[in-house]
Amino acid sequence: MGLLEASREVALTAMTSDEALMLEFQRGSREAFEELFARYREPLYGFFCRRLESRERAEDLAQDTFLAVIRASSRYEPRALVRTYLYGIALNLVASERRKRVRNAVLVEGGSEVAANADSDAALWVRRALERLDASEREILMLREYEQLHYSEIAQLLRIPVNTVRSRLFRARLALKIWLEPEKRAHGSGTAIDAAEDVPARPREGEV
């Protein structure tokens, strides 16, 4: 490896901006793509695991997300954050997968946290509570709590006003807390249900 190539690799590793990496990838940098893949492979896998019942399909769709990035790299513009861009692709893949599942009548109870913790009662309670939410509220809550997206990113992804994101998120958190409360009382504090109920009923301090 030449000195110039080595310096370039070090510079890419030191980058903190996903957007800079994407622009480098557009210019043909394999190292930039590999760094983006390393940063987002596990988050995207988790994204799909929480929405589908099959870990194998979650892995497949995580890879499909990056294949879509490769195919459409020339169309990316730095006006959007890379993670928003990636989760936008992922949401479209999930929607397509769910349409296939509905057509085949195989949507089952095993998605979300149950896929990752099949033997966890607490995960099952959370999953069932999530399923009782309105679909639009459930997706907003999951994007916020599990993918840790900002309100503005969620609004951009779902093409709704930021205030709508805030109000739906608040309703979802409150409903989830209400539905989980009987389980907490039945099993006492300090049990697995407390750990599973990581979605507060009120916005966290500093949220805007």
What's residue 29's pLDDT?
93
What's residue 46's pLDDT?
95
Q: Is the pLDDT of residue 172 over 50?
A: yes
Provide the Cα torsion 67, 68, 71, 75; round to 10°: -140
Among the listed residues 51, 11, 47, the one whose alpha carbon sits nearest the alpha carbon of residue 31: 11
Largest CA distance in the chain: 65
Count the neighbouring beta carbons within 10 Å of the beta carbon of residue 8. Answer: 16
Question: pLDDT per residue over 131-144, tens digit each?
Answer: 888 999 999 999 99
What residue ranges define each of the domains in the chain, with the CATH number in brackets? 1-108 (1.10.1740.10), 117-208 (1.10.10.10)
Q: Is the pLDDT of residue 185 over 80?
A: no
Tell me the Ramachandran region of residue 76: left when phi exceeds 0, alpha when psi lies from -120 to 50, beta otherwise: beta
| CA-based radius of gyration for the chain | 19
* Residue 120 contacts residue 183 (beta carbons within 8 Å): no
Residue 123's pLDDT band, with cuts at 50, 70 and 90, is low
What's residue 120's pLDDT?
57
Question: pLDDT per residue over 28-53, tens digit each?
Answer: 999 999 999 999 999 999 999 999 98
What's residue 150's pLDDT?
94
User: Would you give the distance in Å from CA 126 to the centre of its chain?
Assistant: 17
Provide the Cα torsion 175, 208, 41, 6; round to 10°: -170
Q: Is this prediction's pTM over 0.95?
A: no
* Mean pLDDT, range 190-203, rounded to an integer: 42
Q: Is 191 helix (H, G, I), strand (E, B) or coil?
A: coil
Question: pLDDT per residue over 95-122, tens digit each?
Answer: 999 888 776 644 344 444 434 444 456 6
What's residue 130's pLDDT?
85
* Mean pLDDT, range 7-35, rounded to an integer: 79
Question: pLDDT per residue over 55-101, tens digit each?
Answer: 999 999 999 999 999 999 888 888 889 999 999 999 999 999 988 87
How many angstroms separate the CA atoms of 53 and 108, rounded?
7
Q: Is the pLDDT of residue 195 over 70?
A: no
